Amino acid sequence: MSETRIQDRGEAETLRDVPHHKLAAAADKAIRGGVARPVAHDSAARHVTGAAVYVDDIPELPGTLHLHVATSSRAHARVAAIDLAPVRAAPGVVAVLSAGDIPGENDCSPVFHDDPVFAEGEVQYAGQSLFAVAAVTREAARAAAALARIEYEDLPALLTVDDALAADADLLPPHEMRLGDPEAAIAAAPRRLAGTIRVGGQDHFYLEGQIAYAVPGEGEDVLVHSSTQHPSEVQHTVAKVLGVADHAVTVEVRRMGGGFGGKESQPALFAAIAALAAKKTGRPAKLRVDRDDDMVMTGKRHDFRIDWEVGFDGSGRIAGAVFRQAARCGYSADLSGGIADRAMFHADNAYDLRAARIHSRRLKTHTVSNTAFRGFGGPQGMIATERVLDAVAFALGRDPLDVRRANFYPPGGGAVTPYHQEVTDSVVSEMVEELERSSGYRARRQAVRAFNAGSPILKKGISLTPVKFGISFTATHLNQAGALVHVYKDGSVHLNHGGTEMGQGLFVKVAQVVAEVFQIDLDRVKITATTTAKVPNTSATAASSGSDLNGMAAKAAAEAIRGRLVAFAAAKYRLPEDRIVFLPNRVRIGNEEMSFPDLVQEAYLNQVSLSSTGFYATPGIHYDRETASGKPFFYYAYGAAVSEVAIDTLTGENRVLRVDILHDVGRSLNPAIDLGQIEGGFIQGLGWLTTEELWWDEAGRLRTHAPSTYKIPTANDRPDDMRIAIWSKGENRAETVFRSKAVGEPPLMLALSAFSAIVDAVAAAADYRAFPDLDAPATPERVLAAVEDARRRAGFA
Amino acid sequence: MPDGQSLDITITVNGEARTVVVDTRTTLLDALRDRLHLSGTKKGCGLGQCGACTVLLDGRRIVSCLTFAVMAEGKAVTTIEGLAQDGSLHPLQAAFVEHDAFQCGYCTPGQIMSAAGLLSEGRNGTDDEIRDLMSGNICRCGAYTNILAAIRDVLPRESGR
Ligand code: FES
Ligand code: FES
């Protein structure tokens, strides 16, 4: 039956029976590309040929203008005078935009109305947007911007966590979680320790920088192509800045060249400026941010200072712990509240602290407003926990693994977190036991000790650390997602949902889910660009929730259509619904079989709707801020890693020699994609903890704003020997999509094993007589200083 | 650019002679992307530090963001779009698909062109050497294991040493 046949406006009521397609023999087997298969990334062929289109690759429309954003050179200053006349007069300039040109609200913040698109009167960080130039070329825009005459009157600037603590500069109110009476527990414990650890931030360095391309439409309408993890928020921000309704703005993104959290709130500024320029000039406008500008202008992972105290017994069992976390938020709130919360939610990592106080301060500084970065504060919370465990083990002269094990959340439940959620799904003991065996941890620890005894310059260290990561947005209402599925008359499927693709393989995973529901081959499901016009009011693709939420929403949409097909077939063939069974690429109806497209065509001819939205909201999660308690997480994802490292005690250089990883992804939707996430997460975490150092000068200017000064792991920094396994027993006890678990963020924290191993190696340099005082990142300078400090304290000459 | 000097240059791009008008300061990357609409070559940093813009110039790999277009005059440039022959993927492209050697894909054209350079420069080598030779190409997604495995598949093994 031809396509035109069923579209034909033929005579009334002359529909003939649909001639059924011959069922292919291959259809007897499983479908190609269902769930749990290691299917290649949907864009694989396009990626290797250069045909994958990113925002900057969309063919430019005639008349497209290019934008450059001029920024503050001061950390904190009053803008006494600003003269843009020379900018306007420069060749090629079509428009110059500043605060006065904004028809709506001069704000691109996600929540708190504290991120002006263009600063007015006062600047609060070096790199803050002041005005933008739209010109015929990018070079003309940049050259013109440099002609502005700006007079600043400097104001005192707070640049570091310690500056802010000294000035009592809280940006947001502190928060505290409390379990039992930790102070009393610590006081009563046989042993006590206290310390401080500082951990640096991290630049996302998504390989595709921030970019937005705005195309003006009729009336108030504008279409914005934005490289964003959060199209709905970009839509809302653009509407707010333009002073129009959300429905006038469409935001679309097919894929990003990496996001890592840096394209959650940060793209709003660039999209708003591009849209403003487009509406102002009536011409398409593109803002592609240069790499240096991107690194200077956009927020990073929060750096933290964490002070800790712990009480424990002779076996290392913790009786109580106190963590005081201080986060550098930068000049505005952005997502800092949620990030600092998540750092608190992970101050226990996988350990039952029994009594705990987690205190958090969110500090204001005159630096860029820090933002989401894979792990969203969790890694910073955990690093202090792991430091505590290392310190306790060192004080007792025990293997840190034994001390860790003594404190794990028990598998049978019963223990609660500092925010009073019972941990019922702890598989950490079992996983660690398996990894200890498969990695040969004990023997290798012996070997490391033996090596160190005979090696005066090079020292090795080894460590096994666990990860327990809470899955769900901690702002409960964000745990919702929508999807839109169409089945066309030929049985091919169009899939859309609110999630965005940044390389994590979300699109292929969700498509696998839909293929599974319909029992059709994956190539029958078309993956389409995320757009606010198809699925509205979406949450950011963040918090590792992409597949959990969008997978469920797409599943619901597909199941709704499948349900209609079943009801139709049951009625037509007078069979109970359970006699209609979806088999690979076909449907069994009673004793007959029909291809999926044939059933679809019959349904169409019988006026059955073949399109559905789907919606999902995570059930049963909540958090009460007043009492700092609740069940903010639907479930936990677990993992563990063993890292073995070597340091050079003369230079501080360090290297990971081998890493063994065992990670829990529940029942993997796609093992190939999940393995990539685990490995990539580990490497990114390793960069954060060892080589990636952000450095601001005394004037508050970021001096590490290119890969030449900011060291991102290369092929050479990858550990020589990486052995990664997905935990074969993994299964999600919570009802998630096909019992899978989220995988985006948790593996990043596996890299804490490398940091602990470096601490172990530094201890070796002082003959295990002083516990190292090492902050992150463990750059050669810091390792060298820690070696010298430990040796001094150990009484080395 | 307003004060630069415009020139007509001819570059053989993927086997085809192409004439473009460029400013003396136009980079080869911009000429490829903006003038010739070959958007497969990516701009990651524009500073010669990430490798995303790697192409071959007379068979040798270069970062096109640090190469002036005029320097390619009369020479042969190969980009990712020119690698597949007669509709079938270059062995490196096939190996990258086979090994899932990407996540976001933004570094992929540069990685593949860099590896193609190793081939055309007649390199072979140990895993260590390949890693070293590929260390100018950042993959922020951290897909290095699979990238190296894909290249390993295609590059000749070093013949003893
Ligand atoms: S864009 Fe050329 S090296 Fe980064
Ligand atoms: S795949 Fe994303 S940068 Fe390499």
Strand ranges (DSSP E) for A367-497? 458-471, 480-487, 493-497
Encoded tokens for B144: 């290095």
Distance (angstroms) between ligand 2 centre and the Cα of B103 equals 5
Chain B's closest residue to A294, CA to CA, is: B45
Residues of chain A neighbouring B153 (CB-CB closer than 8 A): none
Encoded tokens for A180: 């039992």
Residue-level pLDDT at A687: 98
CB spacing of B134 vs A56 below 8 angstroms: no
pLDDT (tens digit per residue) in A686-707 = 999 999 999 999 999 999 999 9
d(CA A320, CA A353): 6
* Residue identifier of the C-alpha nearest atom 2 of ligand 2: B104
Of residues B4 and A274, more confidently modeled: A274
Atom from ligand 1 closest to the CA of residue B29: 2
A48, A672, A707 ranked by CB distance to B49: nearest: A707
Rg (CA), chain A: 28
CB spacing of B47 vs A255 below 8 angstroms: no
In a domain, A657, yes or no: yes
Residue-level pLDDT at A26: 43
Q: How confident is residue A72, by pLDDT bands cut at 50, 70 and 90? A: very high
A755: pLDDT strictly greater than 60: yes
Averaged pLDDT, A64-85: 98
Cβ-based neighbours of A696, under 8 Å, separated by 6 or more:
A159, A367, A702, A703
Q: How confident is residue B122, by pLDDT bands cut at 50, 70 and 90? A: confident
What percent of chain A shows pLDDT beyond 90? Answer: 93
Averaged pLDDT, A715-743: 93
Q: Are residues A456 and A502 in the same domain?
A: no
Averaged pLDDT, B54-73: 97
Q: Are residues A633 and A765 in the same domain?
A: yes
Q: Are residues A457 and A488 in the same domain?
A: no
d(CA A100, CA A220): 19
In a domain, A291, yes or no: no
CA distance A48 to chain B (A): 5
B38, B41, B135 ranked by CB distance to A716: nearest: B135
A9: pLDDT strictly greater than 70: no
Q: How confident is residue A11, by pLDDT bands cut at 50, 70 and 90? A: low
pLDDT (tens digit per residue) in A324-339 = 999 999 999 999 999 9
Q: What is residue A521's three-state secondary structure?
A: coil
CB spacing of B38 vs A44 below 8 angstroms: no
Encoded tokens for A15: 């529909």
Q: Are residues A446 and A464 in the same domain?
A: yes
pLDDT (tens digit per residue) in A298-316 = 999 999 999 999 999 999 9
Chain B's closest residue to A45, CA to CA, is: B97
In a domain, A367, yes or no: no
Ligand closest to Cα of A208 equals 2
In whole angstroms, how far apart are CA A503 and each of A250, A553, B150? 23, 20, 18
Distance (angstroms) between ligand 2 centre and the Cα of B111 equals 9
A3: pLDDT strictly greater than 50: no
Q: Can the peptide bond before residue A777 be classed as cis, meaning omega within 30 degrees of 0? A: yes
CB spacing of A49 vs B138 below 8 angstroms: no
Residues of chain B neighbouring A708 (CB-CB closer than 8 A): 47, 49
Residue-level pLDDT at A544: 84
Chain B's closest residue to A208, CA to CA, is: B44
Q: To the nearest whole number, what is the mean pLDDT of chain A?
A: 95
Encoded tokens for A655: 């290297």
Asked if the C-beta of A721 comes within 8 angstroms of chain B's C-beta atoms, the answer is: no
pLDDT (tens digit per residue) in A264-276 = 999 999 999 999 9
* Residue at a domain's end among A584, A617, A650: A617
Q: How confident is residue A562, by pLDDT bands cut at 50, 70 and 90? A: very high
Atom from ligand 1 closest to the CA of residue B138: 4
State the best of B92, B131, B141, B147 to mutate against chain A, taking most chain A CBs within 10 Å. Answer: B141
Residue-level pLDDT at A357: 98
Q: How confident is residue A523, by pLDDT bands cut at 50, 70 and 90? A: very high
Q: How confident is residue B115, by pLDDT bands cut at 50, 70 and 90? A: very high
End-to-end CA distance of chain B: give it in Å, rounded.
52
d(CA A242, CA A541): 25
Residues of chain B neighbouring A206 (CB-CB closer than 8 A): 104, 106, 140
Asked if the C-beta of A716 comes within 8 angstroms of chain B's C-beta atoms, the answer is: yes
In a domain, A240, yes or no: no
Distance (angstroms) between ligand 2 centre and the Cα of A718 equals 14
* Residue at a domain's end among A558, A590, A617: A617
Q: Ligand 1 within 6 A of B65 CB?
A: yes
**Domain total of chain A:** 2
Residue-level pLDDT at A2: 38
Ligand closest to Cα of B42 equals 1
Ligand closest to Cα of A41 equals 2
Residue-level pLDDT at B5: 83
Residue-level pLDDT at A4: 35
Q: Are residues A552 and A593 in the same domain?
A: yes
Q: Ligand 1 within 6 A of B136 CB?
A: no
Structural domain span for residue A557: 480-617
Averaged pLDDT, A57-66: 98
A10: pLDDT strictly greater than 80: no
Residue-level pLDDT at A747: 97
> Phi, psi at residue A285, to the nearest 5°?
-135, 130
In a domain, A760, yes or no: yes
pLDDT (tens digit per residue) in A608-667 = 999 999 999 999 999 999 999 999 999 999 999 999 999 999 999 999 999 999 999 999
Residue type at A667? R
A22: pLDDT strictly greater than 60: no
Cβ-based neighbours of A280, under 8 Å, separated by 6 or more:
A95, A97, A101, A134
A520: pLDDT strictly greater than 50: yes
Averaged pLDDT, A405-432: 97
Asked if the C-beta of A379 comes within 8 angstroms of chain B's C-beta atoms, the answer is: no
Taking CB atoms and an 8 Å cut-off, how many pairs form between chains A and B?
172
A45, A46, A679 ranked by CB distance to B142: nearest: A679
* Stated length of chain B: 161
Asked if the C-beta of A91 comes within 8 angstroms of chain B's C-beta atoms, the answer is: yes
Distance (angstroms) between ligand 1 centre and the Cα of B29 equals 9
Averaged pLDDT, A90-101: 98
pLDDT (tens digit per residue) in A676-685 = 999 999 999 9
**Range 18-77 of A in CB contact (< 8 A) with B:** 40-41, 43-54, 56-57, 59
Encoded tokens for A756: 């602990």
d(CA A357, CA A409): 17
Q: Are residues A603 and A713 in the same domain?
A: no
Cβ-based neighbours of B86, under 8 Å, separated by 6 or more:
none
* Residue identifier of the C-alpha nearest atom 4 of ligand 2: B139
Q: Ligand 1 within 6 A of B43 CB?
A: yes
Residue-level pLDDT at B158: 58
In a domain, A582, yes or no: yes
Q: Are residues A554 and A468 in the same domain?
A: no
Q: Ligand 1 within 6 A of B51 CB?
A: yes
Q: Are residues A453 and A489 in the same domain?
A: no
How many CB atoms neighbour CB A712 within 10 A?
21
Averaged pLDDT, A171-190: 98
In a domain, A453, yes or no: yes
In a domain, A199, yes or no: no
- For residue A583, what is the domain's CATH number? 3.30.365.10
Sign of the CA dihedral running A266, A268, A269, A275: positive
- pTM of the complete model: 0.95
Residues of chain B neighbouring A300 (CB-CB closer than 8 A): none
Q: Which residues of A are catalytic?
A: 745
Q: Are residues A634 and A544 in the same domain?
A: no
Distance (angstroms) between ligand 1 centre and the Cα of B43 equals 6
CB spacing of B142 vs A683 below 8 angstroms: yes
d(CA B152, CA A211): 34
Q: Are residues A668 and A638 in the same domain?
A: yes
Residues of chain B neighbouring A93 (CB-CB closer than 8 A): none
A54, A260, A714 ranked by CB distance to B138: nearest: A714
Q: Are residues A502 and A598 in the same domain?
A: yes
Encoded tokens for A525: 């499901």
pLDDT (tens digit per residue) in A211-257 = 999 999 999 999 999 999 999 999 999 999 999 999 999 999 999 99
CB spacing of B1 vs A706 below 8 angstroms: no
* Residue at a domain's end among A617, A652, A685: A617
Cβ(A479)–Cβ(A472) under 8 Å?
Answer: yes
B45, B97, B108 ranked by CB distance to A706: nearest: B45
Q: How confident is residue A545, by pLDDT bands cut at 50, 70 and 90? A: confident
B79, B83, B97 ranked by CB distance to A45: nearest: B97
- CA-wise closest residue to A271 among A572, A20, A89, A67: A67
Distance (angstroms) between ligand 2 centre and the Cα of A530 equals 20
Strands A493-497 and A525-527: parallel
Cβ < 6 A, ligand 2 pocket: A 207, 258, 503; B 102-108, 139-141, 143
Q: How confident is residue A556, by pLDDT bands cut at 50, 70 and 90? A: very high
Q: Are residues A516 and A461 in the same domain?
A: no
Q: How confident is residue A12, by pLDDT bands cut at 50, 70 and 90? A: low
